[in-house]
Chain A
Amino acid sequence: MDLATLIFWIFAVILVGAALAVVGLRNIVHSALALVVVFAMAAGIYVLLNAEFIAIVQILIYAGAVTILILFALMLTRIGGQARTNPTNRLWGIAVVICALVGATIVYAAAYSPRAVANVGNGAGQLPPGINNVVAIGQLLYSPTTYSYVLPFEVASLVLLVAIVGAIVIGRED
């Protein structure tokens, strides 16, 4: 077992354990804190996959912004006098069965499908020499002359603007 595989297993085990804690813990504040661990371990997985920019964005946006947002929402919607603030509904057994079936289907499709992609090689040589991951993504997002994603990028900024204005309008006291 080489070093990358060992690190992958450490990250994966902590990731799945923290995700189970998010859905399993009784106190929802503890769930929100376990969610931070999920996001941080996912960032570790991205570093393992040579995606440094996405790892940094994951830490900034998910572990920073989204978690703070969720904690603020929890603070503003406190359920008073309840020991179990994160209850499940009556159909959780059916939910377990559905999730197991979906997971088994995905794993079956990934492993045995005749259309499964080739499971060999890695992207170590995919970037030209001297260009690191952040430079490559910057060129792909911003350069208007070559092959790039300028238009989707602008549409995404519009989506963010509309969403933030909508959030302010919906959440405003009247």
Chain B
Amino acid sequence: MLTLNHFLVLGAILFCIGLYGAISKRNAIAVLMGIEIMLNAVNITMVGFSFFDQVRPYSTHLTGQIFAIFIITVAAAEAAVALAMIIAIYRKRDTVDVGEIDMMKW
């Protein structure tokens, strides 16, 4: 029997793996991949709440799934902007190592 906790724990594990990728990688694109995994983990949690929710107005209005759609939208916009920035920085500095990108340091 599936319960809500299955999906919450799956989302938590996935979030932690994404967090590890986001804070321990040196390649900026790998950091972005970690962030995408974290957003997916949150989406799984949202859709899980939408499926198991007993509170009437929320479950009939599919609130969790609507939230997931908006998260996907913003994630796509974020990926486009972040990759454009990474490519612009690569053209300027010839590196995608986040440890070497220190243009805002004086």
Bound together:
yes
Q: Is the CB–CB distance between B5 and A119 below 8 Å?
A: yes
Q: Is the CB–CB distance between B15 and A106 below 8 Å?
A: yes
B73-86: contact bitstring with A at CB < 8 Å (1 yes, 0 no)? 11111111101111
SS class, residues of chain B in contact with chain A: helix
In Å, the complex CA distance between A7 and B68 comes to 22
Q: Is the CB–CB distance between A28 and B84 below 8 Å?
A: no
Q: CB < 8 Å: which of A66, A99, A110, A167 contacts B36? A: A66
**In the complex, chain A residues 73-118 whose Cβ is within 8 Å of any chain B Cβ:** 73-74, 76-77, 79, 85-89, 91-92, 95-96, 98-100, 102-103, 106-107, 110-111, 117-118
Nearest chain B residue, comparing its CB with the CB of A55: B47
Q: In the complex, what residues of B have CB within 8 A of residue A38's CB?
A: 37, 40
SS class, residues of chain A in contact with chain B: helix
The size class of the interface chain B forms with chain A is: 35 or more
Q: CB < 8 Å: which of B4, B62, B78 contacts A140? A: B62
Known A-B contacts A8-B2, A110-B9; the reply to A160 vs B77 at CB < 8 A is: yes
Q: Is the CB–CB distance between B66 and A123 below 8 Å?
A: no
Q: In the complex, what residues of A have CB within 8 A of residue B43's CB?
A: 42, 46, 54, 58
Q: Is the CB–CB distance between B65 and A51 below 8 Å?
A: yes
In Å, the complex CA distance between A136 and B66 comes to 10
Q: Is the CB–CB distance between B24 and A88 below 8 Å?
A: yes
How many pairs of A and B residues are in contact by the CB < 8 Å rule? 239
Nearest chain B residue, comparing its CB with the CB of A48: B2
Q: Is the CB–CB distance between B79 and A69 below 8 Å?
A: yes
The residue in B43, B75, B84 that gathers the most chain A C-beta atoms within 10 A of its C-beta is: B84
* Chain B CB within 8 A of A10 CB: no
Q: Is the CB–CB distance between A119 and B52 below 8 Å?
A: yes
**In the complex, chain B residues 5-64 whose Cβ is within 8 Å of any chain A Cβ:** 5-10, 12-21, 23-27, 29-30, 32-34, 36-37, 40, 43-44, 47-54, 59-62
Q: Is the CB–CB distance between A69 and B83 below 8 Å?
A: yes
Q: CB < 8 Å: which of B17, B69, B96 contacts A16? A: B17
Q: Is the CB–CB distance between B32 and A70 below 8 Å?
A: yes
Name A residues whose Cβ lies closer than 8 Å to a Cβ of B: 2, 4-5, 8, 12, 15-16, 19-20, 22-23, 28, 31-32, 35, 38-39, 42, 45-46, 48-51, 53-54, 57-58, 61-62, 65-66, 69-70, 72-74, 76-77, 79, 85-89, 91-92, 95-96, 98-100, 102-103, 106-107, 110-111, 117-123, 126-127, 133, 136-137, 140-141, 147, 149, 152, 156, 159-160, 162-164, 166-168, 170-171, 173
